[in-house]
Structure 1
């Protein structure tokens, strides 16, 4: 084993010790030995413990550790620390800009133990509340994590959105007489983008290719006929499909849908090599109603298009209010009044649901019962003050380990609605997760099941769930399911929207906003809801203020009716 590797082992051990709050003197001596070992002009391998301990900066105890490393390739002491350290916490220690002490604060004080959760916390501005952190450190950590995610070649839709806008502006400024549309995964509104595809129509293809080569924001590595392959400066794979103007529609169609969808549609056309003027003409030739790009996954929607049963997909204008939002009462950046006014004046909504964290979420300044009552007073005051707008009293109540909600009944019944969410002990078996979720769903005060799987895209898979069992439980108990619109979540997964809708379960597009600008995340929720086939008639917050008031009331009356029936 080379000295450099020995040095790294010792350095890592010192970091783990610091993370776990061990004796500072021991930590310093091991860190110092790590530095010395790396600078020695001779190899440590082959030396006895007696020889090792005579080396300046080593000493007897560290000499024994080096000997163990040389003999076994590892240290028992290091392994013991690792057994008591979550894998995600160890991964955090590799992030540039935060040492073991800061990682300890993140882990112990904020109860964050994965890089994905850390990234989510940075986006919620939660880190600046912790000791030793500021905006600059938080931003540095966020950028480092984004860089590491980009190295995997996968990007969130929201990240790619800015790239698409930037490239479109560049193309418009660089070329004349071309037609350009983004296709592929981005046009289908996929939550994760692996490749960015553009279709470009131009009569002079070579001029386009020549111009593409001169763009500093793109690096091209291969050309295959009409197709160019490369990547953006952000590391995102890109494909440019160049074609003649009369072939634009068919190329856009082929580049948008997944392979199964494209093949199935073209198989319905007698002469699939025809040159359509539009995508609508393609579907017409196939005997189908026009299928929106976001629905072009597989053959499910082809069957419905053939039967004339495609849904009229929800739009942002259909939303009447926003539910599940946070304020400075817990871990939000803006006050309750600022959040409400932004919803009314900027988003033109009729109502706002405040859902600050409950008392178990102490890491997010969760509300004690006393503070809930104080917040109720502010809501009442604002409802008298604000015109043509209503604030509903809600809470994001933690689903505790046994499935119960973390307030007594006399408090829960005072809320207009309750979003029940899992935030802790996420490492569960499917059986444990389902027991916990179903019990919370069966609680008469649960109105909406929040981010139902706890996933963080590209970072954390979430706890395992039986989707059908979860959705069936919501259907049986009149509980709506959230489509959490935060681009890191987009949970409930769109692949399960149709099953929920078939079971007559309401879906609620909630931004989980922690600041005014976060309310715009509902656009991402709309995207993923459309992908799942949601209509305004089945979206909870597409109800008017009067209608949703009646919905909240009917939920309570349903429980009272069931309770009386059981008593009878």
Structure 2
């Protein structure tokens, strides 16, 4: 067993001992031993136990642990500590710059025990008020987690968007042509990107390959009419070359999923596609033009055959921003700053403030008294900012049994209620589904927030029966959120069609914790387009008068039920 492996194991033992509040002297001696072993000029496994005990900085106790590790590949004390430590906490220890003291605060004070939850907490500004943290530390942790996430070669769409634009401009310069197009997952607006793909009218050659290397791309190699390379961060890049007369055909082949392209070309058969554009090729196949986002091989071919493809929603269709946080809970900007930004910078008609509810103590959730105080401020601002409207909302925690964490009296004071799960995520599918359905059946629930709680590339969502949950929303006139944060994009686009086919409205909500967070609605719109959503299916594509009517109708329904 190599010294580095032994040293690494001792470092983990030292960290876990500190995490579990062991004797500081013992913690320090194990950490010191790890340093000593790492620097030894000879392999320690060649020494007997007696010889190990004589090594400076070890002593009998630690020498026996090292011997145990060499003989059995484990240390019992370490194994016992691992058993009582969540796996996500141990994973956090691998992130440079987060020591045991900070991890203890993250775990015990903030209730976070996975790296995915920690990353999202950084996005929600939950770390800045914690002991020993601040905005700078939070940003450093966020950057380190992003670096680790990128190491597996998969990236969030939002994280490669600027890079795609830069590479497109670079390629135009290197290849000396404007006939360069993004294809693949990026053109289909997939939520996770495994590679950036480009189609170029031209020919691959060694000179072009060398030029790409000079411009910072790595491991470039030519394979026929394709140049494969990657960025420093590990993202795969493919440049495919074609003749101008086959551009339309190649755009379809290189953009769509395998299922989509197989379906298209089984219809086309031996048709002559030379010099035909994408649109013309779809016409030859007897289909309406299918937008790139929809080319996933689901039901788009059938819809195109019958000319029933939806007119996809545009970012410009959005009239307001719902589900946002202010300094009343865990936001960076004040309620007024959030509203003024939406009015002046985004030209929106309304904003919905949904600060965290009282169960979210970690996020400075609002007590009953603070709810009333915030609503008084909203009343004052609505006079000041009219005709712009601030809706009184709340993100009410769905508790373990599916109930919401305010009394009906408090819930009735809001214009709308977003009901979300934030805790106890480890449930069976049956229990998690029952929990959501009970919250949906609460007459005060307006919107079901981020239905699965997933964090892309970080944490899979809790298991739910999507059909049952969506059916419950349809039965109870509850809207489903498309959480627009690029980490969430939840409800998943694969369930959008089922929702709207059952008459369920969707709402593209940024879950913004600072003014710039409202811009995430762009990513929510992209994923809504991928799910086949039109403005007619989207709550916040309604203007102020229309959405006021929706909220009033729910209030009327509640009054009649009483």
Relative to structure 1, the CA distance from residue 52 to residue 234 in structure 2 (aligned partners, 3 Å threshold; closer, same or farther) is: closer
Q: State the Cα deviation string for residues 41-98 of structure 1 (Å, max 9, x = none).
A: 6665476666654544333433443343343221222112111111111001000111
- The answer to whether the 8 A contact 2:480-2:506 is kept is yes
Tell me what 1:13 maps to: 13
How much has 1:433 moved relative to structure 2? Answer: 0.8
Tell me what 2:374 maps to: 375
Once the two structures are overlaid, the 10-residue window that deviates more, 51-60 or 405-414, is 51-60
The correspondence of residues 318-397 of structure 1 with structure 2, limited to 5 A, is: 318-397=317-396
How much has 1:560 moved relative to structure 2? Answer: 4.1
Q: In 1, distance between residues paired with 2:532 and 2:441? A: 27
Q: State the Cα deviation string for residues 89-109 of structure 1 (Å, max 9, x = none).
A: 100100011111111111112
Q: State the Cα deviation string for residues 344-390 of structure 1 (Å, max 9, x = none).
A: 11111111000011111111111111211111111001000003210
Q: In 1, distance between residues paired with 2:207 and 2:383? A: 60
Tell me what 2:117 maps to: 117
Q: In 2, distance between residues paired with 1:257 and 1:61? A: 62
Matched, 1:37 2:58: no
Q: In 2, distance between residues paired with 1:67 and 1:226? A: 57
Q: In 2, distance between residues paired with 1:249 and 1:416? A: 50
Stretches of structure 2 lacking an aligned partner (at least 5 in a row): none
Tell me what 1:427 maps to: 426
- CA RMSD in angstroms comes to 2.0
Q: In 2, distance between residues paired with 1:327 and 1:217? A: 41
Tell me what 1:144 maps to: 144
How much has 1:212 moved relative to structure 2? Answer: 4.5
How much has 1:176 moved relative to structure 2? Answer: 3.4
- The answer to whether the 8 A contact 2:174-2:208 is kept is no
- The answer to whether the 8 A contact 2:326-2:513 is kept is yes
Tell me what 1:87 maps to: 87
Tell me what 1:462 maps to: 461
Q: In 1, distance between residues paired with 2:265 and 2:47? A: 73
Tell me what 2:71 maps to: 71
Q: In 1, distance between residues paired with 2:205 and 2:30? A: 62
Relative to structure 1, the CA distance from residue 267 to residue 48 in structure 2 (aligned partners, 3 Å threshold; closer, same or farther) is: closer
How much has 1:124 moved relative to structure 2? Answer: 2.9
After TM superposition, the score normalised by the length of structure 1 is 0.94
Relative to structure 1, the CA distance from residue 40 to residue 284 in structure 2 (aligned partners, 3 Å threshold; closer, same or farther) is: closer
- The answer to whether the 8 A contact 1:220-1:228 is kept is no
Q: In 2, distance between residues paired with 1:31 and 1:248? A: 61
Q: State the Cα deviation string for residues 410-429 of structure 1 (Å, max 9, x = none).
A: 11110111101111111111
Relative to structure 1, the CA distance from residue 182 to residue 4 in structure 2 (aligned partners, 3 Å threshold; closer, same or farther) is: closer
Alignment size in residue pairs: 562
The correspondence of residues 99-138 of structure 1 with structure 2, limited to 5 A, is: 99-138=99-138
Q: In 1, distance between residues paired with 2:233 and 2:32? A: 38
Tell me what 1:474 maps to: 473
How much has 1:205 moved relative to structure 2? Answer: 5.5
Relative to structure 1, the CA distance from residue 193 to residue 47 in structure 2 (aligned partners, 3 Å threshold; closer, same or farther) is: closer
Matched, 1:58 2:58: yes
Relative to structure 1, the CA distance from residue 309 to residue 212 in structure 2 (aligned partners, 3 Å threshold; closer, same or farther) is: farther
Q: State the Cα deviation string for residues 156-201 of structure 1 (Å, max 9, x = none).
A: 1001101111112223444434311101111111000111111112
Matched, 1:500 2:506: no
Q: In 2, distance between residues paired with 1:265 and 1:38? A: 60
- The answer to whether the 8 A contact 1:358-1:367 is kept is yes
Q: State the Cα deviation string for residues 115-146 of structure 1 (Å, max 9, x = none).
A: 11222222333322222223333232222222
- The answer to whether the 8 A contact 1:474-1:480 is kept is yes
Q: In 2, distance between residues paired with 1:292 and 1:10? A: 55
Matched, 1:188 2:156: no
Once the two structures are overlaid, the 10-residue window that deviates more, 110-119 or 461-470, is 110-119
How much has 1:544 moved relative to structure 2? Answer: 1.5
How much has 1:37 moved relative to structure 2? Answer: 3.5
Q: In 1, distance between residues paired with 2:39 and 2:171? A: 52
Stretches of structure 1 lacking an aligned partner (at least 5 in a row): none
Q: State the Cα deviation string for residues 234-281 of structure 1 (Å, max 9, x = none).
A: 321111111222222221111111112112112222533421432110
Matched, 1:553 2:552: yes
The correspondence of residues 211-360 of structure 1 with structure 2, limited to 5 A, is: 212-213=211-212, 215-360=214-359
Helix, strand or coil for the counterpart of 2:290?
A: coil
How much has 1:225 moved relative to structure 2? Answer: 2.0
Helix, strand or coil for the counterpart of 1:322?
A: strand
Q: In 1, distance between residues paired with 2:269 and 2:49? A: 83
Matched, 1:540 2:539: yes
- The answer to whether the 8 A contact 1:355-1:394 is kept is yes
- The answer to whether the 8 A contact 2:184-2:254 is kept is yes
Q: In 2, distance between residues paired with 1:69 and 1:337? A: 59
Helix, strand or coil for the counterpart of 2:313?
A: coil
Q: In 2, distance between residues paired with 1:73 and 1:393? A: 59
- The answer to whether the 8 A contact 1:483-1:508 is kept is yes
- The answer to whether the 8 A contact 1:174-1:211 is kept is no
Q: In 2, distance between residues paired with 1:217 and 1:347? A: 36
The correspondence of residues 507-546 of structure 1 with structure 2, limited to 5 A, is: 507-546=506-545
Relative to structure 1, the CA distance from residue 359 to residue 243 in structure 2 (aligned partners, 3 Å threshold; closer, same or farther) is: same
